[in-house]
Structure 1
C-alpha cells in the first residue's frame, strides 16, 4: 500500500512538472541559451534547468546518487530530465537548435585534434581512432564486454567520430570492433554486442545515455558536424564524410542500429544482426524509424517486436549489408572500398549524402522522433517489465555456473 501511494505521488508530481514545462520550456531554453546565441548540449542543459528552476529537473547530486543503486531500486528522478527535453524537441524552434548544438564537435575533440593529426592515432580507452591514408578508423574497444556500449563508451566514441570528421587528411571513416577478451570469442574481432545490459541492470547506465548517444555519436555518423552558424530555415550545412562498417561476429542491438546510418557495410560470413528490443524492454534508438527503409515494414516489425534475427546471409540480412565475405578477405575489401571512395573526394560525397537524406529523414522529422523518444524511453527504462526481462533473458543466463 505504501509503495502504491508513493507511485501515485510521483505520477502527480510528473504531471505537474510536465504542465509547467509545457508552458515554459521555450522561455527556459531561450534564457539558458541567451536566446539561441549559445549552444548548450542536452546533458548540460538539464543541469542548467535544475539550477534555474529547482525541482523541474534533478540536481547533479541526485542523479549521481541514483547511479549508485541497482535499476530496480531507483527513484526515477532522471525521468524529469527527458520529460523536459521532450518539450524542447516538441517545439521546432528550440528542438532544432538543440539538435544543432549536439552535432557540434565536443570541446575536447578540438584539443585532441593536433595530437591526432601529428601521431595519426589516439587511444581513448573504450574507443580508438587511427588514420590509415585517407581512411579514419574508429574501433570499438570495450573488450571485456564484447564491445558493448555504456556510459564509459559514449564520449570516447563521439570524440573519435569528431576527429575523423575534423581531420582534413581523412576522406572517409570506418567503424569496426577490436578483438575481444572473452572466453568464447577470445582474440576474435566483434563489431558490437549493443547495450551493456549488466551495467543497465546494476544501475550504472544513466537515462541520458540514450539521448546523448543518438544525438551525438550516432547522429554525427549520419549527418556530420554542425558549425558556428545556425540557420533554422536553410538546408543542412554540415561537415560530413561517408562511413564504412565492417561487421565481424555480430551487430546486436545498438550495433545493428549503427548499420542504418553507415554508407557501406562489409560483413563476415556467418555474422548476424538483431534488435532484441522486446527481450531488452527498451526502444532501440532511432531504429524503429529507420529499419523499415532497408528491409520493409513487416520485417522491421518482426525484428523489433518479435525478436527476429537477421543473419547476413539471409535476404533481410543482405538488405542491411553490401558485401558478405570470408573473414580473410575483410581487410582487403576495406582497402579496396577506401581507395575507390577516396578518389571521388569529400565534397561530392557529403553533398550526395545530404541529397539522399532529404527524402528519407529530414532534420525536422528527426526532431519530432526525439520528442517521442525522450518520453517513451524513460517509461521503458524504469518499467518493472524491464527488470523482469533482464533477469529472465540476461542476468540468470550470465550467473556463474549457469
Structure 2
C-alpha cells in the first residue's frame, strides 16, 4: 500500500511516517476543522485503510489548524437539516467515534478540541497535547447534547465530579489540568504535540504488533463492556432534546450571531 500523502484539496489528509505510523490530519482550516459529510466519509475510508494495512502499527490523528484541533459538528450543516450526513453507519460521528479498530490511535492536540472535536479525542486510545490545547463539551450552550460518546467517555478519563462540571457548565479544561488528571498522556510545549505523538507511536511500533493488538483488545473490553447500554441512553437523550423548541433555537442563534433565548420547552 502506498504511503504517499493524500491530495492537497482533501478534507482529511493521510501520510505514512516512520514506516509504521499513519498520520491522519483533519484539514478544513477555514471551518475550524468542523465535521461535515465529506470528513465523515473520508475518515471511515481511512480507518478501513489503516486497519487493512499490516505495516501500520499506530495511527496519529492530527489537525492542520494552528489553534483548533476540531470545533466538532458543522452547525451550518445541522441548521440546514443535514445532521445525518455527519456520521456513517459503521463509524458514527465523523466516521470514527464508534468505529471498530484494532490499531492504537493517538490524538495529537495543539489547540482547542471542543464539542465533537473533544469526542474525536475521546475516541482515541491515547492523547498527546501541548499546553496550548483545551478540551470541552459545550453543546448545552446551543441547546444540544454531546451525542458521540462524550457524555460517558469523559467521566472515564476525568474524576466524575470534574467531568460533570464540564458537561453542565460547558466550560473547557486546559491541557495542563487534563494531564494532571490523566486525561492527557503526555504534555508538550506548543507546537510539539505531533512530534511527541509520533515518538509515542514509534515506541508502540517497536513492540510485537499482534501482541499489542490483542492486549489492547482485552484492555478496551474492560472499558467498553457497558458501552451499548450507554449508547442507547445517549440516543434517548438526543431524541428528547431534538423534540424541544430549544433544539431549534441553539443553532439558529449561532448562525444569527446572537444570544439564544431558551424557553425550556
Task: Return the alpha-carbon distance in structure 1 between the equivalents of residues 227 and 252 of structure 2.
Answer: 33
Matched residue, 2:33: 147
SS of the equivalent of 1:162 reads helix
Contact 1:171/1:345 (8 A) holds in 2: no
- Asked if 1:178 is matched to 2:39, the reply is no
Q: Closer, same or farther in 2 for the Cα pair 1:305/1:207, shift >3 Å?
A: farther
- Asked if 1:217 is matched to 2:77, the reply is no
Instruction: Specify which structure has the higher proportion of helix.
Output: 1
Task: Return the alpha-carbon distance in structure 2 between the equivalents of residues 152 and 270 of structure 1.
Answer: 28
Q: Closer, same or farther in 2 for the Cα pair 1:250/1:291, shift >3 Å?
A: same
- Per-residue CA deviation, residues 349-373 of structure 1 (Å, 9 max, x unaligned), is 21221221222212xx222233333
Q: 1:193 aligns with which of 71, 91, 94?
A: 71
Displacement of 1:178 after TM fit? 1.3
Q: Closer, same or farther in 2 for the Cα pair 1:248/1:329, shift >3 Å?
A: closer
Displacement of 1:389 after TM fit? 2.2
Matched residue, 1:125: 10
Q: 1:327 aligns with which of 179, 190, 196?
A: 190
- Asked if 1:384 is matched to 2:245, the reply is yes
Task: Return the alpha-carbon distance in structure 2 between the equivalents of residues 397 and 324 of structure 1.
Answer: 35
Matched residue, 1:396: 256
Q: 2:201 aligns with which of 338, 360, 379?
A: 338
- Asked if 1:366 is matched to 2:251, the reply is no
SS of the equivalent of 1:121 reads coil
SS of the equivalent of 1:175 reads strand
Task: Return the alpha-carbon distance in structure 2 between the equivalents of residues 202 and 219 of structure 1.
Answer: 24
SS of the equivalent of 1:245 reads strand
Q: How does 1:232-381 map to 2 (within 5 A)?
A: 240-284=102-146, 285-315=148-178, 318-362=181-225, 365-381=226-242
Displacement of 1:386 after TM fit? 1.7
Contact 2:67/2:112 (8 A) holds in 1: no
Matched residue, 1:19: none
Contact 1:191/1:250 (8 A) holds in 2: yes
Task: Return the alpha-carbon distance in structure 1 between the equivalents of residues 48 and 180 of structure 2.
Answer: 29
Contact 2:107/2:124 (8 A) holds in 1: yes
- Per-residue CA deviation, residues 13-38 of structure 1 (Å, 9 max, x unaligned), is xxxxxxxxxxxxxxxxxxxxxxxxxx
Task: Return the alpha-carbon distance in structure 1 between the equivalents of residues 83 and 178 of structure 2.
Answer: 35
Matched residue, 1:3: none
Displacement of 1:131 after TM fit? 1.2
Q: Closer, same or farther in 2 for the Cα pair 1:243/1:349, shift >3 Å?
A: same
TM-score (norm 1): 0.58
Task: Return the alpha-carbon distance in structure 2 between the equivalents of residues 361 and 130 of structure 1.
Answer: 30
Instruction: Specify which structure has the higher proportion of strand.
Output: 2
Task: Return the alpha-carbon distance in structure 1 between the equivalents of residues 223 and 96 of structure 2.
Answer: 20
Q: Closer, same or farther in 2 for the Cα pair 1:119/1:357, shift >3 Å?
A: closer
Q: Closer, same or farther in 2 for the Cα pair 1:382/1:152, shift >3 Å?
A: farther
- Indicate the RMSD between aligned Cα atoms, in angstroms: 2.6
Displacement of 1:119 after TM fit? 4.8
Q: Closer, same or farther in 2 for the Cα pair 1:397/1:374, shift >3 Å?
A: same
Task: Return the alpha-carbon distance in structure 2 between the equivalents of residues 119 and 389 of structure 1.
Answer: 42
Contact 1:177/1:189 (8 A) holds in 2: no
